[in-house]
């Protein structure tokens, strides 16, 4: 479940908070990861320079193969060619790592624009192994005032066709937690591989 998470109300914004900060290991400012699925592939460039905690967390899931066999399970559509797709571990005990500190966009300078990859969460500081990718600008997910928003940490640099294919996948009516009704993909799209690429 995006853990009831992500965005109650389909495409709306939530609050904020944090856990103890952690340092990402040294490395390049941008790290590219290829995400393979049963309907195609995409490449995301993760911004380690601006969102080191969130990027480091995602890379740990990638390097330890924790995403392989999970799925994109949610397609939240908000009009023509706009919305988000959500995937990840869904709190599976054998896949999920401890929560990480929240990196709001007000601190990182990143924004939720088309192709942004960001962390799903219930409250700030609770993000683990679920993430979402936007189609269209979603400024309501950026931190503003008391709303700490969601932790954007990179951008799709190839494969938006795959992202849109997932966004347009059939969804099951009346399935999902309140705020995510009719957004759960009927046949979740399996993540078959995640690999760092040059």
| Vertex 17 angle, CA 120 and 3, to 5° | 30
**Torsion of Cα atoms, 177 then 10 then 133 then 85, to 10°:** 60
Which alpha helices (H) appear in 8-110, and where do they start and end? 52-63, 105-108
pLDDT of residue 181: 75
Asked if 16 and 102 touch (Cβ cutoff 8 Å), the reply is yes
Asked if 85 and 132 touch (Cβ cutoff 8 Å), the reply is yes
- What pLDDT digit, counting tens, does each position of 32-71 carry? 999 999 999 999 999 999 999 999 999 999 999 999 999 9
pLDDT of residue 33: 98
pLDDT of residue 4: 41
Question: How far is Cα 168 from Cα 16, in angstroms, rounded to an integer?
Answer: 30
Question: How does strand 40-47 pair with strand 152-158?
Answer: antiparallel
- What pLDDT digit, counting tens, does each position of 122-165 carry? 999 999 999 999 999 999 999 999 999 999 999 999 999 999 99
- What pLDDT digit, counting tens, does each position of 92-117 carry? 999 999 999 999 999 999 999 999 99
């Amino acid at each position: 479940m995006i853990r009831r998470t992500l965005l109650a109300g389909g495409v709306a914004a939530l609050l904020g908070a944090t856990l103890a900060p952690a340092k990402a290991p040294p490395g390049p400012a941008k790290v590219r990861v290829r995400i393979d699925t049963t309907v195609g592939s995409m490449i995301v460039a993760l911004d380690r320079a601006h969102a080191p905690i969130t990027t480091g967390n995602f890379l740990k899931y990638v390097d330890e193969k924790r995403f392989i066999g999970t799925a994109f399970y949610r397609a939240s559509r908000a009009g023509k060619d706009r919305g988000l797709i959500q995937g990840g571990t869904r709190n599976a005990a054998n896949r999920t790592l401890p929560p990480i500190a929240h990196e709001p966009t007000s601190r990182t300078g990143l924004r939720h624009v088309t192709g942004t990859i960001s962390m799903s969460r219930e409250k700030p500081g609770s993000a683990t192994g679920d993430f979402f990718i936007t189609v269209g600008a979603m400024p309501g997910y950026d931190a503003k005032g008391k709303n700490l928003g969601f932790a954007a940490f990179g951008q799709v640099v190839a494969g938006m066709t795959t992202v849109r294919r997932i966004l347009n996948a059939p969804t099951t009516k009346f399935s999902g937690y309140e705020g995510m009704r009719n957004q759960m993909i009927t046949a979740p799209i399996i993540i078959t591989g995640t690999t760092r690429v040059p």
